[in-house]
Chains A and B, each alone.
Chain A
Amino acid sequence: MSLQKVYSLYKTMDEENLILSFKGVVTAELLASILQIIETKMVSSNESPRIRKKVFNILVECLQNLHHHADDYPDGRTALVTIAKEGNTFIVRTGNYIDNERAEDLKVRLNIINTMDKEGLKEYYQNSLESSVVSSKGTAGLGMIDIARKSGNKLDFEFLKIDNERSFFCLNVKID
């Protein structure tokens, strides 16, 4: 990276009010470290327990999604995670490769989630919890519903088609 790029990266991170950003493989150890850093930062900046818990919970689900799906792509195991604070709103953003077939399924699910209000999400979560089966990886298929429920906002997402096999999945979760 050229020295100018270092500065422009710094500027971007500064302008976007990033508290933390990470690009790499989300291992279990790294996940624990990120959670610890964010928890400490939120306590020291006197965030309310309510917002602290919401950010923490949503971050756990986002990071564990990235962790569980890291092996889907041997060539693209790395993911991007950023946490920003704009005014009183926290924004968790993630970006990762996903195969096009899974992208289609996920898109359908996310669109369904986004049509629902608070009560609808509650009912959807309860039904999914009852019928879900935990996979060998430990996933229960409830993560996105839980994220939407706790954020209280619509999920903002985009699938950028990279080639015939894969897309890059970008997710923005607002917490206020």
Chain B
Amino acid sequence: MLEMLVLEASAKTPSISFNGENGQLELHGRSIPENSVEFYKPLNDWLDRYGSSPCSITVVDVKLEYFNTSSSKCILDLFKKLEKINGSGTEVKVNWYYEEDDEDMMEAGEDYQAIIKLPFTMIEVEEI
């Protein structure tokens, strides 16, 4: 059984809850570390292990208030991994949350949607 990946939020990194038992993956908060590679590496490693025996449905909830350009590339890499496992034992769905009037975050979701072949649902909320 794949262990859960749980990380608490910090001033520069989001909280992470990746559950291999029910296929619910969540990133929540802000992602603005100076060097995001270090932070995202365990997430990528976890996804590699998850991909070998995924749940039939994988739901990724991205609830980011802010992210920097260093993180944007790492987030793209996460989506690329999810794109690869999609259709091979699991169906991946992405829920992209953004706050009302946050056009920038909505557009950021559209950027990934344009690059990644996964179904994205854009969800506007009052507060993330």
Residues of A within 8 A of B (CB): 28, 31-32, 35-36, 48-50, 53-54, 56-57, 60-61, 64, 67-68, 122, 125-126, 129-130, 132-134, 137-140, 142-143, 146, 149-150
Contact = CB atoms under 8 A, between A and B. Distances in A.
B33 interface: yes
Given A56-B66, A126-B111, A138-B36, A50 B73 contact: no
Interface string B79-104: 00000000000000000000111111
Contact of A54 (B32, B33, B37, B104): B104
Nearest to B100: A49
B35 A138 contact: yes
Contacts of A138: 33-37, 70
Looking at chain A's contact residues, is the secondary structure mostly helix, strand, loop, or mixed? helix
Interface residues of B, number: 28
Interface of B: 11-12, 32-37, 65-66, 68-70, 72-74, 76, 99-105, 107, 111, 114-115
Contacts, number: 78
Contacts of A64: 32, 34, 68, 70
A11 to B, nearest CB: 34
A87 to B, nearest CB: 20
Please provide the 8 A-B residue pairs with the shortest distance between their CB atoms, ordered closest to farther: A138-B35, A142-B69, A140-B73, A138-B70, A134-B73, A50-B101, A146-B69, A143-B69
Contacts of A142: 69, 72-73
